[in-house]
Amino acid sequence: MALKTLSAKAAAALDRELMSTGAFSIDQLMELAGLSVSQVVYRVHPVNKGRRILVAVGPGNNGGDGLVAARHLRHYGYQPAIYYPKRSKNDLYQRLAKQLEDLDVPFVDDFSTALQSADHVIDAVFGFSFSGEVREPFPAVIQAMAESKVPVTSVDAPSSWDIEQGPPKTGVGSNFHPDVLVSLTAPKPLVKHFKGRHFIGGRFVAPGIAKKYDFDVPAYEGVDQVVEVGPEGLKL
Amino acid sequence: MALKTLSAKAAAALDRELMSTGAFSIDQLMELAGLSVSQVVYRVHPVNKGRRILVAVGPGNNGGDGLVAARHLRHYGYQPAIYYPKRSKNDLYQRLAKQLEDLDVPFVDDFSTALQSADHVIDAVFGFSFSGEVREPFPAVIQAMAESKVPVTSVDAPSSWDIEQGPPKTGVGSNFHPDVLVSLTAPKPLVKHFKGRHFIGGRFVAPGIAKKYDFDVPAYEGVDQVVEVGPEGLKL
């Protein structure tokens, strides 16, 4: 049985509902989403496989998830570095960046150079609200991730992919196939085109909300904030 | 080597510093503190030992940690019930309560009756800012926890204990000895009087802050948000 997916439009409505009737703050949701991402990286790339995690951070919520993940990874003993070229003036993102600075996590200006000494990359550039064209300076970032042999974990969506249709047919991102994907709350339709290891994270959705949006809460184990699912959505 | 402790005054200053120069929001800190508590309960009282967790919630931040812990425990498969007689009008606490209501977590009016059908209790009544007398309706709650055979996990401090001096010599709480204690960020001086299983949680303190407040960040493992420490602070 395939996991049900959540369209871009439904994902945006779910986010709004979690923060209105669901009574969650964005601080809470982002903390739990970023924690999920950090647990996936710990699982697919244990500390002893190399500590240097490069995090590509976009200007919106997907980037915020990446900032939170980097903080948790630092506490797990990794050495993250942040590429964050379009800093938001949003108070929350500024605070998340400050929390990393207080942990002496470096912010780097040149993604391609940083990639050469990275053991793993987190792609937190664009999430489910992405559509249209990849804006500067991110085309080169996506191209570098696509061409690099360093494994990549994408947050919610491989950046540049269309949320419904998957990888673009031509141009930036058409050859970008990350190794790992963390779908937050529920997979988006693009997972049909994804061939790597697939996890679901974001263990905060009430059954009533999942039912309303017609997706399944996966069978998380123990205190895990993530669960690995197979290509057909089957639990591994 | 004993773990260093944090006085009530220092703990309050640390909290203020985390939320000012540390740039954390209270939503974030409470989410991570409550998550820590839920992980301790999962460890000391696995789901197969009985799912019914009764959470005694006080009017302040300690109570908020309990509300967050209850939500995570519900997601782990427990059946929490909440005793929350002095509801705060504070927006955050109201939202945390709403999140539980959306998960069909019951709020109970009679603590003693609820205790009779509980498998485990979380004492989230008072934390490091407690001093002086236990106000109504909590004396009977603390008395009931003290006399019950149902195991109790206290959040940051056994409620009614003096943060520096430990259990009161007489009266309410003088016979209250919880089974488990979760110290948040660092143990308080009262731990010298505590004989049960002792955990530290709250994996978000930067080394620079710990150094300034002169306590040790314990050696957490993997992605754990908690670590068990021995009576002398030695890692078990």
Structure tokens at B74: 């519900």
Q: Quick one: angle between helices A61-76 and A26-44, nearest 10?
A: 50
Q: Which residues of B touch A39 (CB under 8 A)?
A: 223
Does domain A8-229 match CATH 3.40.50.1370?
no
Percent of chain B with pLDDT over 90: 94
Q: Please, what is the Cα angle at A148 between A144 and A150, to 5 degrees?
A: 125
By DSSP bridging, strand B226-229 and strand B197-201 are antiparallel
- Selecting from B102, B209, B223 the residue whose C-beta is nearest the C-beta of A42 gives B223
Q: Which residues of B touch A203 (CB under 8 A)?
A: 72, 75
* Cβ neighbours of A207 (radius 10 Å): 12
Beta strands in chain B (DSSP E): 52-57, 79-83, 107-108, 120-124, 152-155, 180-184, 197-201, 226-229
Average pLDDT, integer, range A6-16: 96
Q: Do A28 and B23 touch (CB under 8 A)?
A: no
Residues 6+ apart with CB under 8 A from A200: A3, A182, A183, A184, A185, A186, A187, A218, A226, A227, A229
Q: Do B28 and A27 touch (CB under 8 A)?
A: yes
d(CA B182, CA B185): 9
pLDDT at A1 over 60: no
CB burial string B149-185: b at 16+ within 10 A, e below:
ebbbbbbbbbbbbbbeebbbeeebbeebbbbbbbbbb
Q: Residue A235's pLDDT band (boundaries 50, 70, 90)?
A: low
Q: What's phi and psi for A152, nearest 5 deg? A: -120, 135
pLDDT digits (tens, 9 = 90+) for A161-177: 999 999 999 999 999 99
CB B119 within 8 A of CB B53: yes
pLDDT at A65: 98
pLDDT digits (tens, 9 = 90+) for A79-127: 999 999 999 899 999 999 999 999 999 999 999 999 999 999 999 999 9
Chain B interface, Cβ < 8 Å to A: 22-25, 27-28, 31-32, 35, 38-39, 42, 71-72, 75-76, 92, 94-96, 98-99, 102-103, 203-204, 206-209, 220, 222-223
Give the CA distances from residue B159 to residues A114, B113, B227, in Å, rounded to whole numbers and listed in that order: 50, 20, 22
pLDDT at A3: 74
Closest C-alpha among A178, A194, A107 to residue A145: A178
ipTM of the complex: 0.96
Instruction: Tell me the average pLDDT of chain A.
Output: 95
Q: Do A102 and B204 touch (CB under 8 A)?
A: no
Q: Residue A230's pLDDT band (boundaries 50, 70, 90)?
A: confident
Q: Do B28 and A31 touch (CB under 8 A)?
A: yes
d(CA A220, CA B72): 12
pLDDT digits (tens, 9 = 90+) for B78-129: 999 999 999 989 999 999 999 999 999 999 999 999 999 999 999 999 999 9
CB B155 within 8 A of CB B37: yes
For testing contact with chain B, the best of A21, A25, A30, A78 (most B CBs within 10 A): A25
pLDDT at B169 over 90: yes
CA-nearest residue to A221 within chain B is B76
Secondary structure (DSSP) of B45-90: S-GGG--EEEEEE-SSHHHHHHHHHHHHHHHHT-EEEEE-SS----
d(CA B82, CA A118): 47
pLDDT at B236 over 90: no
pLDDT at B1: 52
Q: Which residues of B touch A22 (CB under 8 A)?
A: 98-99, 102
Q: Do B102 and A223 touch (CB under 8 A)?
A: no
CB B178 within 8 A of CB B123: yes
pLDDT at B234: 58
Stronger pLDDT, B1 or B164, i.e. the higher one: B164
Instruction: Tell me the average pLDDT of chain B.
Output: 95
Q: Does the annotation place B166 within a ligand binding site?
A: no
d(CA A104, CA A102): 5
3-state secondary structure of A101: helix
Q: Which residues of A touch B32 (CB under 8 A)?
A: 31
pLDDT at B231: 63
Helices (H), B77-132: 91-101, 111-116
Look at the pTM and tell me if it is higher than 0.90. Answer: yes
